[in-house]
């Protein structure tokens, strides 16, 4: 994406949000050496909230051969900022620009690896848009919104029939449920990262929520509500949904856009697409696992037990899912319907059982 970065005689400044142990920093240095930016100085601002990870990064800056070499040769410089990216952006934006001081250069590229198994469930939208808002809100007039990698990502889900996954959740219930909750059934109101081996998808996956960081505005809503309809292609019992993600790291080329628009994109490999969706899955990628989104069926009217959510091929299955936020975190609420009669309980109402803390 070097051709899209603002021309600067000084060099290029990159912010790495949520650097962890630094693998993205290493990838950036390798990309610099292989690209047309190799003749320009690269300043990498490494933002990490976890103090233990930040300390590890400081040690790595002194000991990693690639990092040390880049610093010694003057092709790159580094700045480690320990703090919340949503706050750090403001301090970076207020710095008075000086061509000789890389720490004052405008931010041209933001790179982050905050994706979760269900796309936005590790709060990538809050972190990226929070940084953009604080940086641009405090920046000197005329500074442009940085290019962002990833540029766009979507959560994807499909109805699933899996006695194995259901039994795993029930086992947690028998072992005492969720810490901090007296209700043992709280385990059904959580989402779980799983290795989904023995299961049947009752219908092809569909997209749920999409977040796009390519726009000039930071005003996109982070709370979302969506109802998605699936037509079953298999018989089974609806035990929940399996969640995946599709991520566009950087732009979509025109050819792929045209193919997608004409309905021909199914299965077409995309050089900038990262996906766990079984239909478009990135080959050889093992860094993420699906999310199991369980359901509890409604009680029978006669009180004799729970009504199984039976699904027959051709049935319409709908997922109503909401992504909500407050000052403390983000949570999902979900409910499923089979046809016009069978439905699940409302799961995780008001985030009372499960919330992702900011």
pLDDT in tens, 1-53: 555 555 456 689 999 999 999 999 999 999 888 875 556 899 999 999 999 99
Whole-prediction pTM? 0.86
CB 88, CB 112: distance < 8 Å: no
CB 172, CB 210: distance < 8 Å: no
Give residue 53's region: left, alpha or beta (phi > 0; psi -120 to 50).
Answer: alpha
CB 18, CB 113: distance < 8 Å: yes
pLDDT in tens, 261-308: 433 333 444 558 899 999 999 988 888 999 999 998 766 555 544 567
pLDDT in tens, 182-194: 788 889 999 999 9
- Give the HSE-up count for residue 88: Cα atoms under 13 Å, Cβ half-sphere: 21
Confidence band, pLDDT 50/70/90 cuts, at residue 351: very high
Q: Hey, what are 261's tokens?
A: 């628009």
Q: In angstroms, what CA-CA distances link 315 with 73, 180, 201, 233?
A: 64, 38, 14, 8
CB 295, CB 92: distance < 8 Å: no
Taking the alpha carbons of 177, 182, 187, 193 in that order, is the dihedral positive or negative? negative
- Annotate 130-176 with DSSP letters as a single string: HHHHHHHHHSPTTPPPPEEES-EEEEEEEEEE-HHHHHHHHHHHHTT
End-to-end CA distance of the chain: 30
Alpha-helix residue ranges (DSSP H) falling in 246-342: 254-261
pLDDT in tens, 110-124: 999 899 999 999 999
Residues 6+ apart with CB under 8 A from 299: 305, 306, 307
- Annotate 24-76 with DSSP letters as a single string: HHHHHHHHHHHSGGGGS-EEEEEEE--HHHHHHHHHHHHH-HHHHHHHHHTSE
CB 131, CB 89: distance < 8 Å: yes
Name the pairing type of β-strands 76-82 and 42-48.
Answer: parallel
pLDDT in tens, 203-229: 999 999 999 998 755 467 899 999 999
Rounded to 10 degrees, the C-alpha dihedral 221/213/107/133 comes to 0
Residue 150: asked if its preceding bond is cis (omega within 30°), the reply is yes
- Rounded to the nearest 5°, which phi and psi values hold at 340? -105, 0
């Amino acid at each position: 994406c070097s051709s899209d970065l603002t021309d600067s005689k000084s060099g290029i400044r990159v912010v790495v949000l949520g650097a962890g142990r630094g693998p993205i920093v290493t990838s950036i240095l390798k990309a610099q050496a292989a690209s047309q930016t190799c003749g320009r100085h690269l300043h990498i601002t490494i933002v990490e909230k976890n103090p233990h990870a930040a300390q590890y990064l400081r040690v790595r800056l002194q000991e990693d051969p690639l990092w040390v070499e880049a610093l010694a040769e003057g092709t790159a410089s580094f700045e480690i900022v320990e703090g919340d990216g949503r706050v750090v952006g403001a301090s970076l934006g207020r710095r008075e620009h000086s061509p000789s001081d890389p720490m004052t250069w405008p931010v041209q590229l933001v790179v982050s690896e905050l994706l979760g198994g269900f796309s936005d469930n590790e709060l990538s939208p809050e972190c990226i848009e929070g940084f953009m808002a604080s940086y641009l809100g405090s920046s000197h007039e005329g500074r442009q919104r940085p290019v962002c990698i990833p540029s766009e990502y979507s959560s994807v889900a499909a109805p699933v029939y899996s006695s194995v996954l259901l039994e795993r959740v029930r086992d947690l219930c028998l072992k005492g449920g969720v810490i901090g909750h007296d209700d043992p059934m709280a385990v059904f109101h959580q989402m779980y990262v799983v290795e989904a081996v023995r299961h049947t998808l009752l219908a092809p996956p569909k997209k749920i929520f999409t977040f796009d960081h390519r726009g000039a505005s930071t005003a996109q809503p982070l709370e979302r509500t969506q109802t998605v309809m699936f037509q079953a292609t298999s018989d089974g019992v609806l035990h929940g949904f399996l969640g995946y993600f599709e991520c566009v790291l950087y732009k979509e080329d025109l050819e792929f856009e045209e193919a997608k628009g004409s309905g021909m994109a199914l299965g077409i490999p995309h050089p900038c697409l990262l996906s766990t969706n079984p239909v478009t899955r990135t080959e050889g990628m093992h860094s993420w696992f699906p999310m199991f989104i369980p359901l509890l069926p409604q009680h029978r009217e006669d009180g004799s037990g729970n009504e199984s959510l039976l699904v027959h091929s051709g049935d319409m299955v709908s997922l109503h899912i909401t992504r909500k936020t407050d000052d403390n975190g983000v949570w999902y609420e979900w409910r499923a319907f089979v046809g016009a009669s069978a439905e699940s309980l409302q799961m995780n109402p008001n985030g009372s059982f499960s919330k992702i803390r900011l």
